[in-house]
Structure formats: structure tokens, C-alpha cells
Structure 1
């Protein structure tokens, strides 16, 4: 037992992966290709992808939202866990990055589950709300530009059904979040949202120290 969360050095992290990671060949290939990308550190960790697949199954999700696609590892992870009639509306602004994602979605046979919207995500989310999509989504994953995190959260909260789940990535920000000397705009935006979520009675909250920190916010009834 431990009265606090333990840290993971390389040896312990390797052990964790060795006894728990169930990563399909297509996910492994995508992760390996993304690792060679100049911005490869933007990809989520494989154990986080697996955790998200578990969450999708636990809440019986069928209709999900993703804000920030990059090369598609998170959306592919979720799509593989969704039922045959499941759907992801995926928001991104980069044709270049998402071209890689599209290729792997196609190879994995899940391209028909993913509706990619190439536009600023706030515009896409506002459009969904305007078209009467409020409280119709089961799950949302937010992993895009940090300055707009609050806007993504507020709109996702409207789009998620009661009992639905929002997952917000990078909330520990490689530890920079806890350093008061770091005051750049992205760090301040994450700090502000973390503080807001702590006191937000609209959700049940847990911040999980997986990957770069993952906040789970369950919308209350």
C-alpha cells in the first residue's frame, strides 16, 4: 500500500507496459511512425490509449467527440473500442497531420466511424450545438491548443449527455504546471482550467497521473 501516488522510473514504466499493454499491430505501427515525426511528443502514450478504450467500454459509448486529432492515435484507439455503429466527430485544423490519421483509420477498417471536421474546433462545436446536438454525445476527449481549453470544455459539457464523460489531456503539462516561475499563456490556461474544474459542481472529477496528466469529468445528472 501507499498513501500517495508513486513515481515511475524507466524500469517500473517498462514493467507496467510489459504486464498490461495490449496494443494492436495497427496502433503500434501508428505510434512508431508518429515517433519519427518532428512533433511526435504530441502523441498520447499507449497506456493512455488503452485506458481510454476501457473508459469507452465502461460507459457504453457510441457517439464521441475529439478535439485535436494530430496523427490519429487517440481517435483510432477510441474507434477500435466503439461498437460497429459508433461514431466520432473529430476536430482538427491540419490537413497534413490528419492525412496520416486517415491512412491508419482506413487500414484499421474504422474510417467510416470517424467524421473529421477540418476547421477551428470552437466553430465545429458551436455548429453542433446550433444543430441541436446538445446532450447527445457520450464521451469527449480534449487535446488541442491549450489557450482554448476552457472554451472546448464548456462546449463539450453542453454536448455531453448527463452521465457522459469528458477527458482532458496534458493537465500536468510535464510538471511545468506546478512551477510558479512558468507563466506562458498555455501553462496559465491549463492552470486556470484545473482550478476551475476543482470547484465545478456540474461534474464529478478525478485527475489521473497517466501520460501527461488526464482529467476525467463526469457530467452530473
Structure 2
């Protein structure tokens, strides 16, 4: 798939290069979007750490995943300013719903304002509180209330809890995506013991041998830096 020509070997790159690449590809594949731009601007103006939100390209990807699995119900753990939530909501068919969980009350307020700006407030239900506590309260009455897609993008220390709950709530054949699992290579370097890095390692150990999912990690390098996500399919 990739050339091994010598000019590609040992070529140092940086986030400047990755950002330039994102911008170049986005110019062809990600249409201009004043509503999403307004969502990001409002998120930043309200003091939320917008740099940890998904990028334009990543938001586009998440929306395409939702479309490809024909998602009618999407579960999101970690709302922040609602950028990814809007991308999911726009991908839903009529009658679809995004259920998003957020612990920070200010984030919830900003996100709800952003949903109105994007015109998707009727498609989103926000559950405020620690997701480790609120996820167990979601009790589908039947298969029609299961989720087709789950996106986990919150504190990494509780990744295992979030993933196990997602498995309970996502239908067979559905998709679970866990963001920020490479973290500039720190997860694979055991010299780093930050709780976020440890949380990802524990999740990898949990998934290993788990017969309820098939999963892989996809590395990314773009305007949000060197990172990646776990893509899992519920068996």
C-alpha cells in the first residue's frame, strides 16, 4: 500500500506538517461549514479546551461512520462543546437521536447553545453527571432502544467502565470508537505512568481476548497531533 522509496525513510515531521496536511485534504473533502465554525468559536470563547475536541477531519469521519452503519441511535461519552455531537446528529435519519453524557455543567450549557446554533437541539439528549454513574441508568427496554454506535471521548481513567457499558448498550454489529489511545506514543512507552496513559493500557488489556468485540487501533497524525482511536465491532 505504501512506497518504501528511500526518500520517505527517516523523514522527520511535526504537528506543523500534520496540520498542513489536514488543511490540504480538508480543502477537497470537508465542505465549508459556518455552523460548525460557529460551534468551535463559541466553545473557545466560553473558555472550553477546544484543542481536545475532534478536528474538522475527525468530525467528518465520525459522521461518515454513523452514516455507514446507518446509525439511528448514537451514544457519546464526553460532550465538551458538542462539536462531535453535531456531526453525529447531522448524520442521523429521521427519528434518530444522540444521547451524550457530560460531567461539567458549564460544558453542558455551552454544548446546548451550540446545538441550537447548529439546529440539532431536537436530535440530542444530554445527560449531566459523571458518566461512570449515569451510564448504568440507561436501561433499554428492548432491542429498538439499543445504540448503533458509541463514541467514548472522556477521562481515560474510566475507559474500561465506559467500554463495558458501551458493550451492554450497543447492538450486535454496532460500532464502539474510543478516542485518544496513542497519545504521542506514551501509551506504548511504559516509562509514562500518567493516569490517562495507564487508563488506555488497562482498556487494551481488557479488550485482549474479549470475544464480545473485534477491535483494532488506528493511528492518526493531524492538527490534533499524533494520536489514534480504537475501532471495535460488537459481536
| TM-score above 0.5, yes or no | yes
How do 1:43-192 and structure 2 match up within 5 A?
43-129=53-139, 132=141, 136-192=146-202
Q: CA deviation at 1:156?
A: 0.5
**Structure 2 counterpart of 1:12:** 21
Alpha-carbon contact 2:86-2:115 (below 8 Å) kept: yes
User: 1: CA distance between counterparts of 2:114 and 2:208?
Assistant: 37
Match of 1:217 in 2: 232
Distance 1:198 1:21, change over 3 A: farther
Pairs within 5 Å for 1:197-208: 197-208=207-218
Contact 1:66 1:141 in 2 (8 A): yes
In 1: Cα distance, 2:56 partner to 2:131 partner: 25
> Which residues of structure 1 form unaligned runs of 5+?
none
Shift of 1:189: 0.9
Question: Does structure 1 retain, via aligned residues, the 8 Å contact 2:48–2:81?
Answer: no
SS at match of 1:182: coil
Q: What's the CA shift string for 1:21-72, capped at 9, x where partnerless? A: 2352211222234345352222111111100100111111111111100110
Change beyond 3 A, Cα 1:3–1:128: farther
Tell me the number of residue pairs that the alignment of Structure 1 and Structure 2 aligns. Answer: 218
Counterpart-to-counterpart distance in 1, 2:135 and 2:141: 11
Structure 2: gaps (5+ residues): none
Q: 1:132 to 1:72 in 2, by over 3 A?
A: same
Aligned structure 1 segments of 4 or more residues deviating by more than 4 angstroms = none
